[in-house]
Structure 1
Amino acid sequence: MSASRSPQDIPSEEDDPRTIVYDPTDPFWRDTDDDDDDDMDYVPATGGSEDEEGDSADLSFHDAAENLSGVEIEVEVTEDDDEDESEDSDDSEEGGVGGANPGRPIYISSEQIVQLLGNTGLRQLLATGGLRLGARRPVRIQDDDDEEGGTGYDPVGPRTRRRRGGGRAAFQKVPSDEGRELMNTGIFGSNDRPRDSIKRRKRLAYDVMSRELGTGSVGRQKNVNKVMRQGMIPGSMADTIIHYNSRCYSGQFSDDGNFFFSCAQDFKVRMYDTSNPYDWKFYKSVVYPYGQWTITDASLSPDNRFLAYSSIRSTVCLASTDPNDTSEPNLLDFANISNHNPRTYHTYFGIWSIRFSGDGREIVAGTGDNSVYVYDIERQQTILRIPGHEDDVNAVCFGDTQSPHILYSGSDDTTLKVWDRRSMGDGREAGVFLGHTEGLTYVDSKGDGRYVLSNGKDQTAKLWDLRKMHSKEKADRIDINAYTTRFEYRTNAYDESEYQPHPHDCSLVTFRGHKVLRTLIRCHFSPPGSTDSRYVYSGSYDGKIYVWNLDATLAGKIDVLKATKNSRPRDPNMLDETYDFYGRNSSSWMTCVRDASWHPNAPVVAATSWNGWGTSQGTCTVHTWNDGLEEDEGEPKIGRRVNALLQHDERLYTATAPPRRHWYDDYMNDE
C-alpha cells in the first residue's frame, strides 16, 4: 500500500477497513486493527454509476441465497426452561419457528438460513462455542406507535435469562416530574396562559388573531409569540430531498441560520447558502485529502469564515468558506503537542468529534486514544491533552459560548465528564455524570454553562444539570464497569428486557423511544429563536427524528424514511440477500437518521441520513412546518429531488419496480 492516497482512492468492497495497516513513514496512517472505529461497518465501492462530480461507483452484489433453493434443515424443538415460560405460552399465535410444539419437527427456509449465517448469526455461533440448533421463539419488537409491536425471526441470539428488577418496568417515569418542573420555570420555553373560554377554538388561529389585534399587555403578546413558535414542529413531508452517492454523517446550520454544511463518506463537506431557509443555494464543497473511512465531524467558526472537519486521523482540516478561495485546506496536526514526552506518547489516533470555541481561537476534539485535545489555531499546536477516559471519546463540546474554560466529554466508558481548565494542574476532572449504562454517542450543551444533553447506546438520551454531578472523589469509588454490558450496538438489536437502571444515575430527565444503533447518532437542544428552547430531539436508526418535551413526553416525530422512500431508482444489480439484526433485507429501502439540525430562526429541520437501498447512499432532507398539509402552493414545490449541487436530476424520478416486501417494512412504516 502506498504511503498516501488521493480522495478518489476509496477502498473497494473486497477491502476490510479493519485490516488496513499504516506505513510507519506516513504520519497520516494509523493501525485500524483495534475495535474503536465505531462507524466502520460499510465500505464505499468504486466505479459504475456517476455522481454529481463525475465520479463513478460500481456496485456488485452476490445473492447469498441463490444456491440454497430446496435446502431444508430439520430440527427438533425442545422445551424452554426459561423462568418466563408462561409469558411465551401464546407464541404459536405469533408465528415463526418459536410457535411450534415441543418435539415437533419444523423446517427452516433458505431465507432464515441466510439470516442465521449473516454477520450477527456468526457472531453468536462463535460466542457460544459451537452450533446448537433448536427452536427459537419470536422476539417482540415494540414501537411507540404500536404497543403490541410486531413479530419476526430474531437473528440476534438465544434468549438470556431475564434479571430481576430490570426491563421496561425499571424505566424512568413519564412524564418526568423533574422535567415538568423545569418546564414550569420558563428556562425551557414559555407556558401558555389560559385565557380562552371557548374550548374548541383553534389555538393557533386564536393566537394569531390576538397578535394581529394587539390585545393584552406587552408581556402577554411576547408570551403568545413564544407559544406560537413552540407549536410549529416541522412535519414529515420533505420540502427538498438532496441525494448523495455516499452516506451522510452529519450536518448543521450556522448560529445565524445563513449557512448549512453536510459531511459525507466521500470525504467531501458541502456548504449551502440558507439565508432563505426555504430556498437553498449551493455554495461550495471542500475535500479531506487524506481521509480514512469517512468524515467524522465538522464545526463552523463563530464568524462563519472557517470550517474545521475531521476523519479517523490525528489531523483536522481547516478550510475557508469563501467560495472564491480555492486553496487547499490547512492541516492542523493534533499530534503536535507542546512539552510531551515522545517516549510515552503515540501519534496515531482518530478524531470522532470536534468543536470550535466561542471565540473561534481553539478547537476541542474527542479521540480514539481515550483523550480530549485542545488545539490553539494561532499557535498551530495542541496546548492540552487530557487522557481522562477508559475508552474512545465519541463526543466533546464547550460548556458555553462566552468562555472556553468548561469542557464536556462523552465516552464509550459510559461516563460524561466535566473539565474546568482553570483548575487542571493535576489533570483531574471537575465532576462526573453517571447514568448511562452503555457508551455515549453524542454530547450537546445548551450553551448556558449549566445544562447538557447526551445520547447513549442504552437507547436513551439524558438531560444533566452541572450542579448535580458527582465529585471525582465519589466517582472514583464507583466501578463503572459493573453497570454495563458493553452492548455491541453496531451488530445487535437492543433487548429492553435486559435493561438495568444505573444505581448512581444523577441525570434530571431520561428520554426514550429512538434507536441508537449502528452509528454514533446525535441529539440536540432545540434553538431558542424558533422553538423558545422548548424541546430536545434526536435522530434514530428507524429513520425518524424524535422530538421530546422536557418532561420526556413525545412532542412529535419527523418520519424521514416515509418522506424519502423510493425517491431514487433502485440499482438493478443490487441482488444481495443479507439481513440486519432486525431481519430487514439489506436490498430494501432503509433510512438511519444520524444527525438533525433545527434552524435557529425558522420552523425548519434538516436531517442528514444514511438513506437508500440498503442505506448505501445518503440524503439531506429539509422539513418545514406546514400545518399538516401535504401540498404547497409556493415555490419550490414540496418533495423535489435534487443532487448534491441542488440541481434537478431527472434520473431521480425514474420509476422502478418495487422490491419484495418484508415484515420489517410494514413494522417500520406503520403509524
Structure 2
Amino acid sequence: MMRTWKFNKMRGKIMKNKSSMKSIKKRKQQFDIDFEGRDERNFYQHILPNSLATTYEEDITARIYGGRFTKKGNLYYASSQEELILYDTTDPNKWQLKTIYSPNNISWTILDMDVDKNEQFLRQETLRVVTDEEDNNRRRFFGMMSVKFSPCGKQTLSSSNRCQLLLYDLESNRTIKKVEKAHQEDINSVCFSHHYNPNIFYSASDDCVLKVWDQRTLQDGKSCVGKFVGHSQGITCVAGRNDGNYLASNGKDQLLKLWDLRYMITPNNFLKVRPFKRNTAFDYRMHDFYLPNPLDQKRHPDDKSVMTFSGHEVLRTLIKCQFSPEQTTGQRYIISGGSNGEVHIFDILSGETATVLNDEQYDQEYFDEEDMCSRDVSWHPEVPLIAQTSFQCQIKVWNYESDEIKIKEVKSEDQSMKQSRVMTRSMLKQRNNKQ
C-alpha cells in the first residue's frame, strides 16, 4: 500500500546552515569544478564514527524500522510501526524534533519510505490485509516492500510481495509500467543505479537473485537486462553506489556482497545459469544461521561479486545497507545494520571490516534479543556521523571522537586578554629599541 505526503508541509520552515562546507558545495555546483573535493575526501575517509554521541527517544512509542538523512543532510526522517518522525538536523550534533505524524491504514509497520530530491514529497510503503473470497475467506498480506523516487523526481519505483515491479508517474498520477513475475518470490528491495539516470535500476528478491532493468525496454518479467547470482538465501537489500557501476547487496546468508555492473550475467546466458536453491528449513525471522562461519558456504560457480563481507547478523527483519557519502569518504565504505544491534563498516579498498559500532550499555536482562535489532543505518552526507534505528524505540547517533586531538575553546574574555598581552609586549619592545 502506497502513500505520498507533502514533505515540505511536514518539515516546516528550516533555516539553511551557511557553513563553509555548504558554501564550497554551492561554488562547486555553480562553476562545475571539483573545489578542494579530493582534499576533503582524503581527510574524512580516515575519520570514522567511533563513539555513541546521543540517543533520541522522546515521544517515540514503537519500534523504529527505517531512518535516513536527506541528501542535503538538514533533515532526518524515520518510520516506526505507527508513525513517521521528522527531525531538523541543521546542527548535526543537536537535532530538533519537528513533527510526529500518524498515517492511516498501517498494518504491522511502515516497510519502506523515500523522499524526492527536492524534499517536497515523502512516499511510504506498508502492508494491507486482503481477504480472498475464493480461498474460504483466507486472510493474506499484500503490500509494497520497497520504494524509491527516480533521480528526476517525477516517478517512483516500487516492488511488492507478489513479485511485481511498478513504475508510477507522479505528474499523471498513474502506473505507467508494471512487471508481473519480475522474480520468483518477494521483491524486498529496489534502487536506481545513478543519481542522474532514471532508466537503469536494480531489484533484489527472496529467490536469491539480483536483477538489472532498463525501463526503456521494460515489458514483462523476461525483459531484464542482467542478473547476479551468488547469495544462498534471500536478499534483504540492494544499494547502488550512484556511479552506474557498483552495487551492494545484503543477504539472509549473512553475507554482504559488492558487485560490478560490467560483470553481470547477460540475457544470452540466462538459461545457462541457475541460482542457489535456498534452504527452506531456515527461517531468518526465528532461527539462528546454521553455519558458524558464513564464509564456509559453497561459492556459486557463476558468482561474479567483487568482494564478500561477513560478521554482521541479518536476522529477524530485512536488514539494510548503504554506501558511505561521496562528498566526505568517496564512497569507500559500506555500512550495514544488524539484528544484534551492531553497525558494521566495511572497507571496499582493503576488503576488511573497518570498524564495528556496538552499544555496550545494553542491559541484557531488560532487553530481549529482538529489541536490540538495528534495521536501518544512514551516514550523514557532510560530517562523520551515523544514525542507526533501534527496536528499543530509539535512534542512536554515532560521531567521531579522538583522545589524541583535543581542542580547547578560548572564551572571548580570555582571547581579549591574550591580545592585550601581545600588544603590551610589542609596545615595550618598541620602547626598548628607541632607548
Deviation for aligned residue 1:281: 1.0
SS in 2 for 1:385: strand
> For 1:377, which of 170, 188, 191 is the aligned residue?
170
What is aligned with 2:389? 608
> For 2:142, which of 349, 359, 369 is the aligned residue?
349
SS in 1 for 2:398: strand
**Contact 1:288–1:295, Cα closer than 8 Å, also in 2:** no
Separation of aligned partners in 2, 1:404 and 1:502 = 31
> For 1:530, which of 297, 304, 328 is the aligned residue?
328
| Structure 2 CA distance for partners of 1:229 and 1:457, relative to 1, 3 Å | same
SS in 1 for 2:57: strand
**Contact 2:183–2:207, Cα closer than 8 Å, also in 1:** yes
SS in 2 for 1:395: strand
Deviation for aligned residue 1:349: 2.7
| Structure 2 CA distance for partners of 1:463 and 1:588, relative to 1, 3 Å | closer
What is aligned with 2:76? 260
**Contact 2:66–2:375, Cα closer than 8 Å, also in 1:** yes
What is aligned with 1:418? 212
What is aligned with 2:306? 508
What is aligned with 1:430? 225
Please list, as runs of the form range in 1=range in 2, the aligned pairs for 1:118-267 lying within 5 A after superposition: 223-242=38-57, 244-266=60-82
SS in 2 for 1:475: helix
Please list, as runs of the form range in 1=range in 2, the aligned pairs for 1:423-502 lying within 5 A after superposition: 423-425=217-219, 427-482=222-277, 484=279, 487-496=282-291, 499-502=297-300
Letter in 2 for 1:480: P
Deviation for aligned residue 1:488: 1.2
**Contact 2:208–2:231, Cα closer than 8 Å, also in 1:** yes
**Contact 2:316–2:370, Cα closer than 8 Å, also in 1:** no
Deviation by residue 1:273-303 (Cα, 9 ceiling, x = unmatched):
1111111111123322011110001101100
| Structure 2 CA distance for partners of 1:487 and 1:566, relative to 1, 3 Å | closer
**Contact 2:50–2:401, Cα closer than 8 Å, also in 1:** yes
Separation of aligned partners in 2, 1:419 and 1:587 = 40
Deviation for aligned residue 1:348: 7.5
Separation of aligned partners in 1, 2:96 and 2:342 = 25
Please list, as runs of the form range in 1=range in 2, the aligned pairs for 1:38-187 lying within 5 A after superposition: none
Deviation for aligned residue 1:263: 0.4
> For 1:557, which of 338, 345, 356 is the aligned residue?
356
> For 2:376, which of 578, 583, 595 is the aligned residue?
595
SS in 1 for 2:376: strand
**Contact 1:415–1:432, Cα closer than 8 Å, also in 2:** yes
TM-score (norm. length: structure 1): 0.51
What is aligned with 1:540? 338
Cα RMSD (Å): 2.9
What is aligned with 2:158? 365
Deviation for aligned residue 1:482: 3.6
SS in 2 for 1:231: coil
SS in 2 for 1:227: helix
Letter in 2 for 1:269: L
Deviation for aligned residue 1:512: 0.8
Separation of aligned partners in 2, 1:458 and 1:492 = 12
Deviation for aligned residue 1:354: 0.5
What is aligned with 2:412? none
Separation of aligned partners in 1, 2:298 and 2:276 = 13
Deviation by residue 1:530-584 (Cα, 9 ceiling, x = unmatched):
222121110011211000111320111111x325x259x96xxxxxxxxxxxxxx
SS in 1 for 2:184: coil
Deviation for aligned residue 1:599: 0.2
SS in 2 for 1:364: strand
Separation of aligned partners in 2, 1:274 and 1:378 = 30
Deviation for aligned residue 1:499: 2.4
Deviation for aligned residue 1:459: 0.4
What is aligned with 2:101? 286
Separation of aligned partners in 1, 2:127 and 2:244 = 29
Deviates more, 1:497-506 or 1:294-303: 497-506
SS in 2 for 1:517: coil
Deviation for aligned residue 1:222: 6.3
Structure 1: 5+ residue stretches without partners:
1-26, 29-218, 316-346, 571-585, 612-617, 635-671
> For 1:622, which of 397, 401, 408 is the aligned residue?
397
What is aligned with 1:275? 90
Please list, as runs of the form range in 1=range in 2, the aligned pairs for 1:379-398 lying within 5 A after superposition: 379-387=172-180, 388-398=182-192
Deviation for aligned residue 1:364: 0.6
SS in 2 for 1:530: helix
SS in 1 for 2:343: strand
**Contact 1:239–1:624, Cα closer than 8 Å, also in 2:** no
Deviation for aligned residue 1:484: 4.9
Letter in 2 for 1:424: L
| Structure 2 CA distance for partners of 1:587 and 1:521, relative to 1, 3 Å | closer
SS in 2 for 1:476: helix
SS in 1 for 2:286: coil
Q: Percent identity?
A: 33
> For 1:312, which of 127, 133, 138 is the aligned residue?
127
| Structure 2 CA distance for partners of 1:486 and 1:439, relative to 1, 3 Å | farther
Deviation for aligned residue 1:403: 2.3
Separation of aligned partners in 2, 1:287 and 1:398 = 29
TM-score (norm. length: structure 2): 0.77
Separation of aligned partners in 1, 2:211 and 2:76 = 29
Deviation by residue 1:313-335 (Cα, 9 ceiling, x = unmatched):
499xxxxxxxxxxxxxxxxxxxx
Deviation for aligned residue 1:523: 0.6
Letter in 2 for 1:422: R
Deviation for aligned residue 1:587: 4.8
**Contact 1:438–1:486, Cα closer than 8 Å, also in 2:** no
Letter in 2 for 1:254: T
SS in 1 for 2:303: coil
Separation of aligned partners in 1, 2:145 and 2:219 = 26
1:297 and 2:112 matched:
yes
Structure 2: 5+ residue stretches without partners:
3-33, 131-139, 410-435
What is aligned with 2:16? none
**Contact 1:549–1:555, Cα closer than 8 Å, also in 2:** yes
Letter in 1 for 2:373: C
Letter in 1 for 2:197: S
What is aligned with 2:429? none
| Structure 2 CA distance for partners of 1:502 and 1:428, relative to 1, 3 Å | same
SS in 2 for 1:529: helix
Separation of aligned partners in 2, 1:270 and 1:607 = 14
